[in-house]
Structure 1
């Protein structure tokens, strides 16, 4: 049996039995960019102390979590990042890092070379200095960033990610070219989300659906990904909340609370010990069941496009204030 097949079976088992296996850990709220499309609240600089974070590593380990994604904000801005990362690796965790890579230092490169992450996912906003500054308000970093990305490819698997926005849709082809030159995988975010605080001003960066579909499906790589996703889902209408949020996946917020997912912040459970951490995980399972009960009451239940839709209650709530209305 291949290692990939074994890992898939473990994922299926933990999801079926609601065992925490994945953790998306936002270790800091602060970011070093000011992206026009960002949906995260513009909050104060919130993060656990390094000591608190190292305790959280113990909670994760004791709870059985094996895969941890370090995110933010920008995770590299946490003053204890290297200690947190090293602690996770020391207990045998598979660690992925979500970053914009702007703050990557020589110290961090040496850390990753010594203890490589299983993957590094980099959000790339722009295709040159001018477009990068226009989207992020950060000057004179793009060329340096490309050199950092090239170096990262020698350390771990790199995935470059970009949202499709009103301002960048015209140069998506250039983004693909950069990825090909770096010989890295890439992924597009097809939808710009409203902000978590309810503000929708960033939606002026959401292009028409038809333009997104035309641009995405003109790329063979992306079209093939979509074919595989649809084939995997099949044609069942049991599509609502098809993700693993609250089953074998949890989110740790910068304020040391647990959520089902990074976009559904209305249900947060604080913790400060192993016992309260485990109780919070149980609360997430109950919350998911409550949200699933909305399924039979909304339009998702009878929608003929259910197998193609992400069926995401968090996105529906951000857009409409309900858990089951369509996102137009």
Structure 2
């Protein structure tokens, strides 16, 4: 890295303490930073010793209800399943006993969940990443999140104006999401934007111009995903091919040298080797009806939480289904089994008598009909990190935890 790149990285790092409320910065540093560091160390020791399994982080989808109906989304359009407050509170409570204080809160649209902020306020020692389309973030909602201090909104933007309307099934989605971005900036929140990259939004969103736009609007990080054609309207034709995924990886690594915001992804380690966070055991997912799942788009399960989620630890420690699925996922690839081998996955799910956890009850047939598409495991074309900060973070958080031998 050059001196100019170091200076750019320092400027980016200083944006959070300079632009955000001091109390929020402290909550972020302690609840997310310090507690996460301890949690990862505990998780790593459990994995190394072969102790009973419990993931480092849990992603929680609290409702199927959403104000949009996006192409390629795994959530059932019009679905009404909603997690009980007792289960949500119990998941957080039980996780803290294992040293885990960070959670992803997903939907549907989580801001449609009644009583959400009351539960997150109760767990003021935790930190929550709220996955939202941003359309419901008003000035009042942003100020409520500021008062809590332990929430970072992650606003999903799936394209510029035309593409957002097309992908998300409504008009003026981009501008409404951008209004949520502006409300977060006004409230001095630590917040980010997310994008699921596909063919139709690649040129608009995989660009320095888009990064600069988000930074100018106040976003502190940008999370890139790879589009997964799943759900009732998969749109396989929109999936990236191998060359596009390779170019996306190169773009991310290059932009990390001097981008005005942090660029996040969870697909590659410091050396550019592909990995699956669920396969490493780093994270698993819980659906709105309490089903304990491998990851958010894989909507089949064997185990369910009880009324207050007090069996959470027992489920993770004793689940042969999750253990066997982690082993299957790393057997032939370091990539995404759902993208690369959906029919093999369907065979595994049927063999283990896994249950569809959705309202639509068509997931297994969807997997059987899926066409394999390119994943992010491209051995021989690894692109190592160039930025020393990301190298260090990746070596700590994304190195496989022994999953790949």
Shorter-chain TM-score tier: 0.7 to 0.9
Render the CA deviation track for 1:229-258: whole Å, top value 9, x for unaligned: 8662477xxx7x653558453322100122
CA distance in 2, matches of 1:270, 1:113: 33
Q: Would you say the 8 A contact 2:291–2:302 is kept in 1?
A: yes
Render the CA deviation track for 1:111-131: whole Å, top value 9, x for unaligned: 111012352211112223x33
Which residue of 1 is the match for residue 401 of structure 2? none
Q: Would you say the 8 A contact 2:340–2:373 is kept in 1?
A: yes
Which residue of 1 is the match for residue 352 of structure 2? none
CA distance in 1, matches of 2:266, 2:201: 26
Q: Would you say the 8 A contact 1:66–1:94 is kept in 2?
A: yes
Gapped runs of 5+ residues in structure 2? 1-28, 47-52, 349-371, 375-405
Q: Would you say the 8 A contact 1:21–1:66 is kept in 2?
A: no
Render the CA deviation track for 1:105-148: whole Å, top value 9, x for unaligned: 344222111012352211112223x3322221222343343232
CA distance in 1, matches of 2:267, 2:81: 36
Pair 1:36 & 2:36 matched: no
User: How many positions carry a matched residue from both structures?
Assistant: 306
Displacement of 1:223 in angstroms is: 8.1
- Give the alignment's Cα RMSD to 1 decimal: 3.7
CA distance in 2, matches of 1:58, 1:227: 28
CA distance in 2, matches of 1:186, 1:14: 26
Q: Would you say the 8 A contact 1:25–1:68 is kept in 2?
A: yes
Which residue of 2 is the match for residue 126 of structure 1? 159
Correspondent of 1:11 among 40, 61, 81: 40
Residue correspondence of structure 1 range 1-328 to structure 2 within 5 A: 7-8=36-37, 10-17=39-46, 18-42=53-77, 44-89=79-124, 92-128=125-161, 130-153=162-185, 154-172=187-205, 173=207, 174-184=209-219, 185-190=221-226, 192-196=227-231, 201-214=234-247, 217-218=250-251, 220-221=254-255, 232-233=270-271, 243=277, 247=281, 249-272=283-306, 273-284=308-319, 286-294=320-328, 298-300=331-333, 310-318=334-342, 321=345, 327-328=373-374
Q: Would you say the 8 A contact 2:36–2:101 is kept in 1?
A: no
Gapped runs of 5+ residues in structure 1? 301-309
Q: Would you say the 8 A contact 2:337–2:345 is kept in 1?
A: no
